[in-house]
Chain A
Amino acid sequence: MSKLISENKTLSKQINFIPKAIPQSMKSLLRIFISAVTLIVLWQSIVLFFALPSFILPSPAAVFNKLLERYDILFYHSWITAQEIILGLVLGLSMGLLFALQMLLFDPLRRWLLPILIASQAIPVFAIAPILMLWLGYGIASKVVMAALIIFFPVTTCCYDGLRNTPSGYLDLAKTMGASKWQLLKHVRLPAALPALASGIRVAVVVAPIGAVVGEWVGSSEGLGYLMLQANARMMIDEMFAALFILAALSVSLYFLADLLINKLIPWQHD
């Protein structure tokens, strides 16, 4: 009887699992669509109701026209910003993981590195931006470093916490199986830390665009941040909004892409 009940439970789990998976993504798409439409309607009503001039708040239609009209320029600058974000993410994530691993494996190093890591967070990234421009120039490098720096702390702490908090039972079991320190890291600590690392990545993909755009604001000759500053100076507010729209779309897509990949690659994270 109990076997029957437990089998039933597993079966119902499976049944629940399959049909839910598809509508869930449809539902979230629908939610995004409804939110977007509501926002646009609200935006348009504000423009109409307050009779705002286009240099204060352009209408959604004007911004959409700008998107179509200046797509080549917008695409070029978006591509630059996207590169800065992606490279910044790669650099920041790998540095964060490396730092966390070092702190885990070499205890004396942790005692030296942790205060530096915390102190580094006390300095606002905005304040470092001009120095980075000075050292790395107005090109893409300073923005990549900026994006990497801004995600470095959350990634390192998430990784370090994940690596440090491996369930002790897993480690015990592997030790009784004769695992060496490196084997423990490779086969137990690292896979067990992946869900924590995933949280770090989720934060990183949201924050990295901020770093890149801040870098562009401080000094650059290309990128969406640069385009926004230029458009603002020339009172082309609709173009500024078009750039802002692309930046938001870029960040949101990046987040959903990361989330999708994480869920696919680390399916056990919700245990």
Chain B
Amino acid sequence: MPKQKVGISICNASLQYQDSNQAIIEHFNLRMPLGKWTAILGKSGCGKTSLLRYLAGLLNENVLWSGDITLHGIETLQDNIAYMAQQDLLMPWLNVIDNVCFAFKFSDRRLSDTDNKRAFQLIDLVGLGGQALTMPAQLSGGMRQRVALARTLMQDKPVVLMDEPFSALDAVTRHRLQGLAAQVLADKTVLLITHDPQEALRLSDALYIMQGSPAGAISLTLPNTAIPRVFDAQLAKLQQQIIDSLEVDYV
């Protein structure tokens, strides 16, 4: 892989919940290339979601953290992240357009006509043209996650943190949404947490596998091709390699 500019690097990090006497992550190193997708794979409970939640600023009071986080191109993480979870987290009392513009409710900036226009464009972009006034309850799971994607795009933050955003979808919808996300988040620095090796291989420019307890991360070399990748023999081989490494934790 050619040398890439680093967006976020985490060096020798450890993370421990205050009510626990053992760290869940230790000696953890991660380099997220700027404007690229980085995936973290690991079995359930290995600490990958905790790491993402820490980076999203959702764990600050409950955990002990040590280690360095170096940022490039941004001052702080706090104001520069957009968060996408496994659930679409659409507010059921707001229609699609209001959900897409949800972040404006917490901002000093008022929603301008230009913003509004952009929101409509983003809804079109994710393939939901004409659904701006629909309530979330009337949408399918895939459509709802598309709205969540539009909401993330509307936030327009340089860093996107994704916690298994496609795992609750059926195979075809997941495949289509992965392609769409890769396309529309092309210039963002994305951290994707997943337990699906295929998804990680398809979408990431850098891939880490979290292993052990407390968990550390090992990096995996990926083909130097653009994402979303077509799943070929080489990726299938890599997938087997990932499963072999992950299996160690299941013994």
Q: A residues near B, CB below 8 A?
A: 2, 6, 9-10, 13, 167, 169-170, 172-180, 183, 187-188, 191-192, 194, 266-268, 271
Contacts and interface: CB of A to CB of B under 8 A. Distances in A.
A177 B102 contact: yes
Contacts of A267: 135
Interface string B116-156: 00000000000000000001111010100000000000010
Contacts of B161: 176
B93 A180 contact: no
Contacts of A188: 91
B166 to A, nearest CB: 16
A174 B56 contact: no
Given A172-B56, A172-B58, A177 B89 contact: no
Say whether chain A's binding surface is mostly helix, strand, loop, or mixed.
Answer: helix
Contact of B85 (A172, A174, A178, A194): A172
A175 B107 CA distance: 12
B82 interface: yes
Contact of A6 (B56, B106, B140, B155): B140
Contacts of A174: 102, 106
A173 B93 CA distance: 15
Contact of A170 (B57, B91, B138, B170): B91
B227 to A, nearest CB: 23
B147 to A, nearest CB: 13
B100 to A, nearest CB: 12
A271 B138 CA distance: 10
Question: Which 9 residue pairs are nearest across A and B when measured between Cβ atoms?
Answer: A268-B92, A176-B83, A179-B106, A177-B103, A173-B89, A191-B93, A177-B106, A187-B105, A169-B89
Nearest to B141: A6
B245 interface: no
Given A10-B140, A169-B87, A176 B58 contact: yes
B140 A178 contact: no
Contacts, number: 69
A10 B106 contact: no
A62 to B, nearest CB: 50
Contacts of A13: 138
A96 B173 CA distance: 45
Interface of B: 53, 56-58, 78-79, 81-83, 85, 87, 89, 91-93, 102-103, 105-107, 135-138, 140, 142, 155, 161, 170, 172-173
Nearest to A265: B93
B83 A173 contact: yes
Contacts of A183: 105-106
A176 B57 contact: yes
Contact of A169 (B57, B85, B107, B155): B85
A23 to B, nearest CB: 21
Given A175-B57, A176-B83, A178-B79, 14 more contacts: A2-B173, A167-B89, A169-B87, A172-B89, A174-B102, A175-B58, A177-B102, A177-B105, A178-B106, A191-B91, A192-B91, A192-B93, A268-B92, A268-B137
A172 B83 contact: yes
A11 to B, nearest CB: 11
A174 B140 CA distance: 23
Contacts of B105: 177, 179, 183, 187
A268 B93 contact: yes
Given A172-B56, A172-B85, A175-B58, A180 B106 contact: yes
A192 B138 CA distance: 18
Contacts of A177: 102-103, 105-107, 155
Nearest to A175: B58
Contact of B135 (A6, A173, A191, A268): A268
A144 to B, nearest CB: 32
B106 A187 contact: yes
Contacts of B106: 174, 177-180, 183, 187
B140 A194 contact: no
17 contacts: A9-B140, A10-B138, A10-B140, A167-B89, A169-B85, A172-B53, A172-B85, A174-B106, A175-B57, A176-B56, A177-B102, A180-B106, A183-B105, A188-B91, A192-B91, A268-B137, A271-B137
Contacts of A169: 85, 87, 89
A176 B82 contact: yes
Contacts of A192: 91, 93
A180 B112 CA distance: 22
A42 to B, nearest CB: 42
A175 B170 CA distance: 29
B221 to A, nearest CB: 32
